[in-house]
Amino acid sequence: MSPTLTADSVSVSFEGLRALSKVNLDVPRSRITGLIGPNGAGKTTLVNVLTGFQVPSEGHVILDGERLGCLPPHKIRRRGVARTFQSGRLFSDLSVLDNLEVTGIGLGLQRKEAASRAAEMLEWVGIAHLAERTAGGLPYTDERRVAIGRALMMEPHYLLLDEPAAGMSAEEAAQLASLIKRIIAEKKCGVLLIEHNIGLVLNICDDIHVLDSGEIIDCGSPAAIKASEKVRHAYMGTQADAVGEIL
Amino acid sequence: MAARSSILAKTVSTPVILIGILLIVALVALLVKSGPFNQTVIDIFIRVVLVVGLYVFIGNSGVISFGHIGFTCLGAYATAWLTIPPPMKKMALPGLPDIILNAKLPFAPAIVLAAIFAGVCALVFGKILMRLSGIAASIATFAMLALINQVYSNWERVTGATSSVVGIPINRSIWPYAICAFVVVIIAYLYAISRSGLALRSARDEATAAAASGIDIPRERLIAFTLSGVIMGLGGALYAHSVGVVTPDTFYLGLTFISLSMLVVGGMNSLSGAVLGVVILSTIIQILRWFEKGVPIGGTTLTIPNGLQEIAIGIVMIVILMYRPSGLTKNRELVWRGWPFRGLFGGA
Ligand SMILES: Nc1ncnc2c1ncn2[C@@H]1O[C@H](COP(=O)(O)OP(=O)(O)OP(=O)(O)O)[C@@H](O)[C@H]1O
Ligand SMILES: [Mg+2]
Query: What CATH code is carried by the domain that includes residue B142?
Result: 1.10.3470
We report the CATH number of the domain holding residue A164 as 3.40.50.300
Is A172 within a domain? Answer: yes
**Atom nearest to A211 CA in ligand 1:** 21
**What is the Rg, in whole angstroms, of the alpha carbon atoms belonging to chain B?**
20
Is B346 within a domain? Answer: no
Is B342 within a domain? Answer: no
pLDDT computed for residue A236 by the predictor: 52
Quick one: pLDDT band at residue B342, thresholds 50, 70, 90? very low
Is A132 within a domain? Answer: no
Task: State in Å: Cα B259 to ligand 2 middle.
Answer: 44
One-letter amino acid for residue A45 of the chain: T
Q: A122 to chain B: nearest residue by CA?
A: B1
State how far the Cα of B236 lies from the Cα of B68, in Å rounded to an integer. 11
A25: left (phi over 0), alpha (psi -120 to 50) or beta: beta
Mean pLDDT score, B34-51: 94
Nearest ligand to residue A23 Cα = 1
Strand, coil or helix: B191: helix
Whether A90 and chain B come into contact, CB under 8 Å, resolves to yes
pLDDT, chain B, mean: 92
Number of domains in chain B: 1
pLDDT computed for residue B305 by the predictor: 79
> Which of B194, B195, B212 lies nearest to residue A51, judging by beta carbons?
B212
The answer for residues whose C-beta is within 8 angstroms of residue B65's C-beta and 6 or more apart is B54, B57, B58, B137, B138, B141
Whether B335 and chain A come into contact, CB under 8 Å, resolves to no
Chain A and chain B share a number of CB contacts under 8 A equal to 105
pLDDT higher than 50, residue B3: no
Q: Are residues A101 and B1, on separate chains, in Cβ contact within 8 Å?
A: no
State how far the Cα of A166 lies from the Cα of A182, in Å rounded to an integer. 20
Q: Domain of residue A53: give its range.
A: 4-90+138-246
Q: Are A162 and A83 in contact (CB under 8 A)?
A: yes
Q: B7 to chain A: nearest residue by CA?
A: A112
DSSP labels, B129-168: HTTS-HHHHHHHHHHHHHHHHHHHHH-HHHH-TTSPB--P
Quick one: pLDDT band at residue B348, thresholds 50, 70, 90? very low
Q: Are B209 and A90 in contact (CB under 8 A)?
A: yes
**Atom nearest to A86 CA in ligand 1:** 27
Quick one: pLDDT band at residue A232, thresholds 50, 70, 90? confident
Contacts of B219 in chain A (CB under 8 A): none
Between residues B84 and A16, the one the model is more confident about: B84
Backbone angles phi, psi at B295, to 5 degrees: -120, 125
Is B272 within a domain? Answer: yes
Could you say which DSSP state residue A126 is in?
T
Backbone angles phi, psi at A38, to 5 degrees: -65, 170
A17: left (phi over 0), alpha (psi -120 to 50) or beta: beta
Mean pLDDT score, B292-306: 79
Whether the ω angle into residue B340 lies within 30 degrees of 0, i.e. cis, is: yes
Closest CA–CA distance from residue A123 to any residue of chain B (Å): 12
Q: Are residues A92 and B205, on separate chains, in Cβ contact within 8 Å?
A: yes
pLDDT tens profile A37-72: 999 999 999 999 999 999 999 999 999 999 998 899
Highest mean pLDDT among A145-149, B159-163, B339-343: A145-149
State how far the Cα of B245 lies from the Cα of B76, in Å rounded to an integer. 9
Give ion ligand 2 contacts, CB < 5 A: A 43-44, 86
Contacts of B193 in chain A (CB under 8 A): 111
Closest CA–CA distance from residue A80 to any residue of chain B (Å): 10
pLDDT higher than 70, residue B147: yes
Is A124 within a domain? Answer: no
Sequence-ordered alpha helix ranges (H) in chain B = 4-11, 13-32, 35-61, 69-83, 86-92, 98-101, 107-129, 134-154, 156-159, 174-192, 195-205, 207-212, 217-243, 253-266, 271-293, 308-323
State how far the Cα of B186 lies from the Cα of B192, in Å rounded to an integer. 10
Number of domains in chain A: 1
Strand, coil or helix: B7: helix
pLDDT tens profile B104-143: 999 999 999 999 999 999 999 999 999 898 899 999 999 9
Interface predicted TM-score of the whole assembly (ipTM), two decimals: 0.92
Task: State in Å: Cα A44 to ligand 1 middle.
Answer: 7
Indicate the burial class of B152 (C-beta count within 10 angstroms; 0-12, 13-18, 19 or more). buried
Mean pLDDT score, A196-210: 94
Query: b or e along A104-137 (b: 16 or more beta carbons within 10 Å of the residue's beta carbon)?
Result: bbbbebebbebbbbbbebbebbebeebbebbbee
Backbone angles phi, psi at A156, to 5 degrees: -65, 155
pLDDT computed for residue B294 by the predictor: 80
Q: Are A28 and A222 in contact (CB under 8 A)?
A: no
Strand, coil or helix: A70: coil
Is A70 within a domain? Answer: yes
Query: b or e along B328-342 (b: 16 or more beta carbons within 10 Å of the residue's beta carbon)?
Result: bbebbbbbbeeeeee
Listed by number, the residues of chain A in 108-137 with a beta carbon closer than 8 Å to a beta carbon of chain B are: 110-112, 114-116, 118-119, 131, 134
What angle separates helix B308-323 from helix B253-266, to the nearest 10 degrees?
Answer: 40
Q: B217 to chain A: nearest residue by CA?
A: A74
> Residue A212's beta-bridge partner residues?
A215
pLDDT higher than 90, residue A235: no
Indicate the burial class of B293 (C-beta count within 10 angstroms; 0-12, 13-18, 19 or more). exposed
Listed by number, the residues of chain B in 251-280 with a beta carbon closer than 8 Å to a beta carbon of chain A are: 269
Q: Are A46 and A211 in contact (CB under 8 A)?
A: yes
Q: Are strands A190-194 and A17-28 parallel, antiparallel or unpaired?
A: unpaired
Indicate the burial class of B5 (C-beta count within 10 angstroms; 0-12, 13-18, 19 or more). exposed
User: Among B47-61, B175-189, B325-339, which is the least confidently predicted range?
Assistant: B325-339
Q: Are residues B348 and A105, on separate chains, in Cβ contact within 8 Å?
A: no
The answer for residues whose C-beta is within 8 angstroms of residue A186's C-beta and 6 or more apart is none
pLDDT computed for residue B2 by the predictor: 43
Best B213, B330, B345 member to test A by mutation, with max A CBs in 10 Å, is B213
Q: In what order do the strands lie in the sheet with A58-63?
A: A17-28, A4-14, A58-63, A66-67
Q: Are B119 and B233 in contact (CB under 8 A)?
A: yes
Q: B196 to chain A: nearest residue by CA?
A: A105
Q: Are residues A134 and B348, on separate chains, in Cβ contact within 8 Å?
A: yes
Is B93 within a domain? Answer: yes
Is B347 within a domain? Answer: no
Is A104 within a domain? Answer: no
Ligand 1 mutation pick, A14, A25, A211, max ligand atoms within 8 A of CB: A14
Is B331 within a domain? Answer: no
Is B254 within a domain? Answer: yes
Q: Are residues A116 and B3, on separate chains, in Cβ contact within 8 Å?
A: yes
Is A116 within a domain? Answer: no
Is A181 within a domain? Answer: yes
Is B46 within a domain? Answer: yes
> Which of B5, B202, B208 lies nearest to residue A102, judging by beta carbons?
B202
End-to-end CA distance of chain B: 20
Between residues B318 and B5, the one the model is more confident about: B318
Whether A72 and chain B come into contact, CB under 8 Å, resolves to yes
Backbone angles phi, psi at A182, to 5 degrees: -65, -35
Closest CA–CA distance from residue B229 to any residue of chain A (Å): 24
Strand, coil or helix: A208: strand
| pTM for this predicted structure | 0.93
Is A101 within a domain? Answer: no
- Altogether, the residues listed in chain A come to a count of 247
Closest CA–CA distance from residue B205 to any residue of chain A (Å): 5
Q: A115 to chain B: nearest residue by CA?
A: B2
State how far the Cα of B40 lies from the Cα of B26, in Å rounded to an integer. 10
Other CB atoms within 10 Å distance of the CB of residue B298: 6
Q: Are residues A134 and B214, on separate chains, in Cβ contact within 8 Å?
A: no
Strand, coil or helix: B324: coil
Residues whose beta carbon lies within 6 Å of some atom of ligand 1:
A 14, 17, 19, 37, 39-45, 86
> Which of A83, A90, A112 lies nearest to residue B3, judging by beta carbons?
A112
